Amino acid sequence: MTRYFATGVAALLASTGLAQAQLNIYNWGNYTSPEVIERFTAETGITVTITDFDSNDTALARVRQGGHGFDIVVPTHHTIPTWIAEGLLQPLDPAIVTDRANIAPQWLDVAFDPGREFTVPWQWGTTGVIVNTSVYSGDINTADVIFNPPPELQGRINVIPEMSDVMAIAVYHAGGEDLCTNDMDVLRRVRDTLMNARQHWLALDYGTIEAFGAGDFSAGLYWNGASMRARALNADLAFGYPATGYPLWMDNAAVLADAQNPENAMRFINFILQPENAAGLSNFARYANGITGSEAFMDPDMATAPEIVIPEALIAAGRFSTACPQEITDLHTQIWTELLQ
Amino acid sequence: MAKGFDVRRLPGFASVALLTIALLYVPIVILVVFSFNDSISQSQWAGFSMRWYETALNNATVRDVSIRSLWLAAVSAGFATVLATLAALGTTRVGRFPGQTMIYALINQPLMVPEIVTGIALLIVVAFVKVQTGYTGMGYMVLAHTAFCIPFAYLPIRARLETLDPNLEIAAADLYAGPVRAFWHITLPLLVPGIMAGFMLGFVTSLDTVVITEFVKSAGQETLPTYMLGQIRRSTTPEMNAVATLFLLLSLVFVTAFFLITRKRG
């Protein structure tokens, strides 16, 4: 009996000993560079376990219930205010997270987490326009290549069927400041623009990287990462940032309020603030990371890629979308439904 | 005799049947074909290659989650089969009793209730128990999968029991075999094909359960289906086609085994 007890205690001690050197990350699948994790373990002796989620909603639902056992979560920007408001995240510990200054200035004071009290950037991307420059040689930093296409692009356009992206670019193009604007004049212009543009579009499809590469489409509304992969197939393809405004998204790492290993989590947060490690995340996931100086460690093709390095003059035109109030979403859905008919 | 009614002669039968078969199998055939593609493309053929199978089999995560899935399916289906056998005996080898239909319905609950409802219900309960006890091991997954697999194991066992000749058991009793002895020497051996079939069905069901696993899993408890689901946010490569094809092959082996076992009955 005593022996069993002793074994039990030993096992318990061993498990708490282990617990001190563990870290559980809850992240999107196929999104965490194994190389960066290996480096972290080598440097700190902390064993990292990664578990996948498939949507922001699943992650939020799991964590709300408690008992999840995760330390770090990586949600998308538009859900961060919910995570913070519900008290699911803990403020970053300035004693351990000492390098917040490494965050590039434009990502430092963001609306979804003012002052970066809870989160640090993981990866971010944009939605813009892709244009085959051998077909059209004009300015590509405008949504007009899609909404008022020149004759050479008419009938050769593909638009991703993603309502929030299309509506955001259309609203900004129509002079709306905010995706969720309730200005009916703006929304009317949005509808007219889209309905008029529709006749020039060949398709509304996902997964068109090869079609762009093969020249089946000459212009489109597209994500930066996919656009970069299309350019790898066809060097004539270029990615443009509409000067009237374009949507940004950013996934952010945060430490959970009920983390089992908060200290290890804070150490990991500071670890990914180092340019070399942020670059490692990018080299794996193929998106930008928002850490100053990481370019030096990124794969050469990414560090200078026009799909990732936004021209200085167009940085300010990028905007984070927010979740709109229901009545605005209903209006967007109506326009969208009409567009798809 | 005049020609009787034959559904095969109804107008449109052939086209509906063809469309249904196409919907069922064309996507799977495309998935399998592109798992052998010699490029990263999912739509343009670039020659035959086994490279994605090599990538998949060398992927340590794929190996880990596959082993976990197989282990979980074997253990859960094992428990479920034992419980389902007892349940089948309890609902067929006794006289009619009040509430029998109700019990039958209760056992088959997982077949009726949408998986997402079970998933969320389990999430709430399991999260509570985890917080109270601090235990986060595989026990929750085994319990959840076992519960879910019971009706799949129960149905073939019950079907087998119902076709067994009750006279055999009566004959055993006539020859002074007690109920326990009659069970071990007569009922159980005759029931084996049903039990095997039940185990196979339970195994396959556990193997491809996504929703419940997604809500119950703790850190580091990824299974093959939830891992595959996690891959879709970034562009999928034919590696996932290769994994899916292997997965399909495994399911086919079990379903074929199930078919062969149940066919012997006749």
Tell if the CB–CB gap between A62 and B230 is shorter than 8 Å. Answer: no
Best of B129, B235, B236 to disrupt the A interface (most A CBs within 10 Å) is: B235
pLDDT of residue B255: 81
d(CA B46, CA B29): 17
- Give the integer Cα–Cα distance in Å for A308 and A165: 18
Q: Could B127 and A54 be called an inter-chain contact, meaning their C-beta atoms sit closer than 8 Å?
A: no
Yes or no: say if A218 and A153 are a contact pair by the CB < 8 Å rule: yes
Judge whether A193 and A199 are in contact, CB under 8 Å.
Answer: no
Q: What is the DSSP string of B110-171?
A: HHHS-HHHHHHHHHHHHHHHHHHH---STHHHHHHHHHHHHHHHHHHHHHHHHHS-HHHHHH
Decide if B237 touches A, using CB distance below 8 A. no
B224 vs B69: CA distance, rounded Å = 6
Low-confidence ranges of chain B (pLDDT < 50): 1, 266
Q: Which amino acid is at A162?
A: E
Enter the tokens of residue A157. 């356009």
Tokens of B262: 């149940």
E runs forming strands in chain B: none
pLDDT at B2: 54
Angle at Cα A303 formed by Cα A302 and Cα A304, nearest 5°?
90
- Are B145 and B73 spatial neighbours (Cβ–Cβ below 8 Å)? yes
| Residue of chain A with shortest Cα separation from B236 | A30
Domains of chain B, first to last: 59-263 (1.10.3720.10)
Q: Do A229 and B222 touch (CB under 8 A)?
A: no
Domains and CATH numbers, chain A: 2-124+249-303 (3.40.190.10), 125-247+311-340 (3.40.190.10)
d(CA A318, CA A127): 9
Contact assignment for B217 to A51 by CB distance below 8 Å: yes
Distances in Å between the Cα of A258 and the Cα atoms of A65, A72, B76, B241 are 11, 10, 30, 37
CB contact under 8 A, B217 and A210: no
Rounded to the nearest 5 degrees, what angle is found at the Cα of A247, between the Cα atoms of A246 and A249? 150
Quick one: pLDDT at residue B234?
62
CA atoms within 13 A on the CB side of A90: 18
Query: Which residue in B180, B155, B146, B184 sits closest to B87, CA to CA?
Result: B155
Q: B120 to chain A: which residues are within 8 Å by CB?
A: 61
Nearest by CB to residue B123, choosing from A51, A62, A69, is A62
pLDDT tens for chain A, residues 1 to 341: 344 444 444 444 444 444 458 999 999 888 899 999 999 999 999 999 999 888 888 899 899 988 888 999 999 998 899 999 999 999 999 999 999 999 999 899 888 999 999 999 999 999 999 999 999 999 999 999 999 999 999 999 999 888 888 999 999 999 998 899 999 999 999 999 999 999 999 999 877 888 898 888 999 999 898 898 889 889 999 999 999 999 999 999 999 999 999 999 999 999 999 999 999 999 988 889 999 999 999 999 888 899 998 999 999 999 988 778 889 989 999 999 999 88
Cβ pairs A/B, distance under 8 A: 83
Contacts of B120 (CB under 8 A, 6+ apart): A61, B215
Longest dimension (CA), chain B: 73
For A33, residues 6+ apart whose C-beta sits below 8 A from its C-beta are: A280, A281, A283, A284, A285
Kindly list the residues of chain A whose beta carbon comes within 8 Å of any beta carbon in chain B: 24, 26, 28-31, 49-54, 58, 61-62, 65-70, 207, 209-210, 226, 229, 285-286
Of A54, A68, A69, the CB nearest to B214: A54
Partner-chain contact A54 B233, CB within 8 Å: yes
Q: Which of B191, B231, B189 is nearest to B210 (CA)?
A: B231
Spatial CB neighbours of A169, under 8 Å, sequence gap ≥ 6: A127, A143, A146, A221, A242, A245, A246, A247
* Other residues' Cβ atoms within 10 Å of the Cβ of residue A101: 9
Q: Do A24 and B219 touch (CB under 8 A)?
A: yes
Q: Is B219 on the interface with A (CB under 8 A)?
A: yes
Residues of chain B positioned with their CB less than 8 A from the CB of A69: 130, 136, 218-219
Q: What pLDDT is stored for residue A192 in this prediction?
A: 95
DSSP letter for A296, please.
G
Nearest-CA distance A30 → chain B (Å): 5
Residue B8 touches partner A, C-beta closer than 8 Å: no
DSSP for A62-112 reads HHHHS----SEE--BGGGHHHHHHTT-B----TTT---GGGB-HHHHSBTT
What is the distance in angstroms between the Cα of A138 and the nearest Cα belonging to chain B?
A: 30
Going by DSSP bridges, is the β-strand pair A72-73/A201-203 parallel, antiparallel, or unpaired?
unpaired
Nearest CA in chain A to B127: A67
- CA distance, residue A93 to nearest chain B CA (Å): 23
Dihedral sign of CA atoms B105, B107, B111, B115 in order: positive
What's the pTM?
Answer: 0.78
For residue B218, the distance in angstroms to the closest alpha carbon of chain A comes to: 6
